[in-house]
Amino acid sequence: MPWDKSTGVILSPTTTQNMLEKKHGRDRIKTYRKNNEAVLSQTDAYNQRAIQGDFRPIYHFGENVLEDKDLCIDDKRLHIVGFDKPVNLDIVSPYPDMKITDNIT
């Protein structure tokens, strides 16, 4: 099945949580949640300010945008200009039971 640049995978929060627990274990996920409480607090504070109309943009249009020429991809690696090491694409999925098959319509 050919995939173009706009193809993506969408997983539910529950499916994602189950995959993370399966890979890392329930105790590590509990530790992550505990360590992430400060981030959630900051996020909530930002959201409350935004609701009141008090926010500063975080995204700066056009900054750090990669162009096609900045990427080189083959069946084994993804090379990104500015990074010393390529992203290894030749890996075995830790989730063989969640493999995407070619019979997707």
The better pLDDT of the pair 70, 102 is held by: 70
Look at residue 33 and tell me whether its pLDDT is greater than 90.
yes
> Strands of 77-80's sheet, edge to edge?
71-73, 77-80, 87-88
Q: Can you spell out the DSSP letters for 45-89?
A: HHHHHHHTT-------TTTTPPPGGGEEE-SSEEEETT-SSPEE-
Handedness of CA 87, 6, 72, 96 (dihedral sign): positive
| Distance of alpha carbon 103 from the chain centroid | 25
Phi then psi for 35, rounded to 5 degrees?
Answer: -70, -25
Look at residue 51 and tell me whether its pLDDT is greater than 80.
yes
Residue 103 structure tokens: 């019979």
Phi then psi for 61, rounded to 5 degrees?
Answer: -50, 130
Look at residue 34 and tell me whether its pLDDT is greater than 90.
yes
Look at residue 17 and tell me whether its pLDDT is greater than 80.
yes
Look at residue 39 and tell me whether its pLDDT is greater than 90.
yes
pTM: predicted TM-score of the whole model, two decimal places: 0.45
Domain boundaries in the chain?
Answer: 13-98
